[in-house]
């Protein structure tokens, strides 16, 4: 077994690998850029080597710097994590030349499966179902249009070396191809150094199912069941679960055996994932097609660990050291259900715009995951596991992926795992930048998610107008009204007790008018009861003015509520939504109608940069006429390109930026007359 390994990655996956290596008695080496000098993974490792400035192209993607760090520290092997150099054949070859073990698959397998065009040819030869499409070289946009017209819309344009949702565009028409083909090429070149693109038929009502593969150097290859990854936004996974609510034992066996056959065809070993697209319109479940094989560990691997009890990182290390797998296919079981939500630095209330900045507050619902070696160690504390690599006061940088943490829950049933997600998300505290906690909580509560009727179009179909918070039932609003009045009473009572200078102590008001979504609730606070609109609410909670979170039991149900005082009440966040709550003593509530309402200014004549990023292109000039919805500019942020469109028709009055400029959030790019 290795005595020392180097992790050629950063963030939560670096922390994840270090924890397992530590349990195995293996010393670890971290490499870090300037931006990560104070990151948790650097502090956790036994040694750390600085490798350059923040841009990955000048640090984490420079193989020579990784190899130099290995030589400097005596690391015998490298775990690449995912992304960065994890699927670069040149990196694995360079390590081999230096006698350093690559904790991953053989070079020939990376080469065969890393090229999306060639991998489809190999899959077809191995007898695996493949999606109809064009897998040759595409010359230019006109050629892409011709191919797409022949295949029939909708089609998917994908960067050949792509992954992680980057370098992908869905086209429903010729215009979509003309707008998106060059952007797909650029994303492929910028993220992966390869601008080749292939085009394939987009499967209607698709479900994204992937099979976890694990093999050793002695010819043993297993499949560790499937994961459902259908809930995606812009082709980036948001929610993953294992097992899939759609896959039957018969389907699981058929998928698994095909994926093992493909893996054997390329001499695969280590952990890997074969991704499949399944037609949800086929009730037999037999219409599944090969998408790609990821020759590395997947972001969503914890859900597989939770239901199988297998530590995939440990197995990768043991396989790299030449050990045989100690399990057989018959040993692979499914125990319970696991769900993973990716907590991203993005603002769903503002069109999911990337958010960068300082984590002013960061308190996950449980401490970051630690594996004590027991099977249940894969599941965290009481079925809640957090994989993260950030810290309170740290920065979420524009240079790297926007994921803050992975929240994983395990339960005996799918509903239990989802309920644990909702409770854990309510208790997850993040301040300082936008995040998607409310959004993933809303998904966990959504009737369609609960039914298991998922497709990759779930988010677009269920939130066509964007996200404004999870819908709140009348029952929830009644409970919030009771909590708001109770908290307001407690605050008034404290003010009365603090101000001992009054000649006559003032009792706090007992009757409150609470407004939620413009609906009034009349609340009476008694000595032992809380009555809302004439109905008694059972309420048990403790609140001290200044508390940011309230743990309450309302009508027998536990609730965690984030609370922030406002001028006339509170802002309460729970169950996937932010609620602006007015709360005034009933005797003065009628006076609130005389308050002046501030109306926000009309900014539609400006094109405003919605996020910090690079202005890749500007499509108009001063004096040009534009139409509503017309693409005006492209901003690149967090490795993704975002098209900015005109909110209304008009004529460009002035242009304040040029292609190549780095822009701050809310920077005015241009103004219309």
Active site residues: 292
Across the beta sheet with 640-645, the strand order is 640-645, 631-637, 613-618, 662-663
Cβ atoms of 288 and 230 within 8 Å: the answer is no
Cβ-Cβ contacts under 8 Å for 425 (sequence gap 6 or more): 341, 365, 407, 437, 438, 440, 441, 444, 576
3-state secondary structure of 241: strand
SS (H, E, C) 76-126: CEEECCCCCCCCCHHHHHHHHHCCCEECCCCHHHHHHHHCHHHHHHHHHHC
> Residue 420: which of 474, 380, 458, 367 has the closest Cα?
380
Q: Could you say which DSSP state residue 183 is in?
A: H
Triad 635, 639, 644: Cα angle to 5°: 20
Asked if residue 243 has a cis previous peptide bond (ω within 30° of 0), the answer is yes
573 phi/psi in degrees, rounded to 5: -120, 125
Triad 270, 276, 280: Cα angle to 5°: 150
Using CA atoms, how far residue 155 sits from 124, 193, 551, in Å, is 20, 23, 49
Cβ-Cβ contacts under 8 Å for 3 (sequence gap 6 or more): 26, 27, 76
Cβ-Cβ contacts under 8 Å for 641 (sequence gap 6 or more): 183, 186, 187, 616, 634, 635
CA distance 443 to 364: 19
Residue with tokens 């890997």: 272
Going by their DSSP bridges, the two strands 288-294 and 27-33 should be labelled as: unpaired
Q: Could you say which DSSP state residue 281 is in?
A: T
How far does the chain reach from its first CA to its final CA, in angstroms? 70
């Amino acid at each position: 077994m290795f005595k020392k390994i180097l992790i050629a990655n950063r963030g939560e996956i670096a922390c994840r690998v270090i924890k397992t290596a530590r349990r195995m008695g293996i010393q670890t080496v971290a490499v870090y850029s300037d931006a990560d000098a104070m990151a948790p993974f650097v502090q956790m490792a036994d040694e750390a080597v600085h490798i350059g400035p923040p841009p990955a192209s000048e640090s984490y993607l420079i193989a020579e710097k990784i190899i130099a760090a290995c030589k400097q520290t005596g690391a015998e092997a490298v775990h690449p994590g995912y992304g960065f150099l994890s699927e670069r054949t040149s990196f694995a070859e360079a390590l081999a030349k230096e006698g350093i073990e690559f904790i991953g698959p053989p070079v020939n397998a990376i080469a065969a499966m890393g090229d999306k065009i060639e991998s489809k040819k190999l899959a077809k030869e191995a007898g695996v179902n493949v999606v109809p499409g064009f897998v040759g070289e595409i010359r230019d946009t006109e050629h892409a249009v011709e191919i797409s017209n022949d295949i029939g819309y909708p089609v998917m344009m994908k960067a050949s070396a792509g992954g992680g949702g980057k370098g992908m565009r869905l086209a429903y028409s010729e215009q979509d191809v003309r707008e998106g083909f060059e952007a797909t090429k650029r994303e492929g070149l910028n993220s992966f150094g390869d601008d080749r693109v292939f085009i394939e038929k987009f499967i209607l009502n698709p479900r994204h199912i992937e099979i976890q593969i694990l093999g050793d150097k002695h010819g043993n290859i297993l499949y560790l069941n499937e994961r459902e990854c259908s809930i995606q936004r812009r082709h980036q996974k948001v929610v993953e679960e294992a097992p899939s609510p759609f896959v039957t034992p018969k389907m699981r066996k058929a998928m698994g055996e095909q994926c093992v056959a493909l893996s054997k065809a390329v001499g695969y070993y280590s952990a890997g994932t074969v991704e499949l697209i399944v037609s949800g319109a086929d009730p037999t479940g037999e219409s599944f097609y090969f998408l790609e094989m990821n020759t590395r560990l997947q972001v969503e691997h914890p859900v597989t660990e939770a239901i199988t009890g297998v530590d995939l990182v440990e197995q990768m290390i043991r396989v790299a050291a030449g050990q045989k797998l100690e399990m057989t296919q018959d040993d692979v079981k499914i125990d319970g259900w696991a769900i993973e939500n990716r907590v991203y630095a993005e603002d769903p209330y503002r069109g999911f715009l990337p958010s960068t900045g300082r984590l002013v507050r960061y308190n996950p619902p449980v401490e970051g995951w630690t594996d004590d070696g027991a099977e249940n160690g894969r599941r965290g504390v009481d079925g809640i596991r957090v994989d993260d690599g950030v810290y309170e006061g740290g920065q979420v940088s524009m240079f790297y992926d926007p994921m803050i943490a992975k929240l994983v829950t395990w339960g005996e049933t799918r509903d239990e795992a989802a309920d644990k997600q909702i409770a854990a998300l309510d208790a997850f505290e993040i301040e300082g930048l936008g995040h998607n906690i409310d959004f993933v909580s809303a998904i966990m509560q959504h009737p369609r998610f609960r039914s298991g009727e998922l497709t990759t179009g779930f988010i677009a179909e269920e939130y066509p107008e964007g996200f404004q918070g999870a819908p709140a039932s009348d029952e929830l609003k009644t409970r919030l009204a009771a909590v708001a009045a109770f908290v307001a009473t407690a605050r008034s009572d404290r003010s009365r007790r603090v101000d001992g200078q009054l000649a006559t102590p003032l009792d706090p008001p007992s009757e409150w008018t609470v407004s939620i979504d413009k609906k009034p609730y009349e609340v009476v606070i008694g000595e032992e009861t809380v009555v809302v609109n004439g109905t008694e609410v059972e309420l048990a909670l403790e609140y001290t003015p200044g508390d940011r979170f309230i743990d309450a039991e309302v009508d027998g149900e536990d609730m965690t509520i984030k609370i922030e005082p406002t001028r006339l009440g509170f802002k309460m966040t729970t169950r996937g939504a932010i609620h602006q709550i007015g709360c005034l003593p009933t005797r003065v509530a009628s006076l609130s109608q005389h308050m002046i309402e501030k109306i926000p200014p009309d900014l539609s004549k400006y094109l405003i940069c919605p996020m910090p990023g690079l202005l890749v292109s500007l499509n108009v000039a001063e004096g040009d006429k534009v139409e509503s919805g017309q693409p005006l500019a492209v901003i690149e942020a967090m490795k993704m390109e975002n098209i900015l469109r005109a909110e209304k028709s008009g004529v460009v009055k002035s242009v304040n930026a040029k292609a190549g400029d780095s822009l701050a959030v809310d920077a005015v790019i241009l103004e219309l007359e």
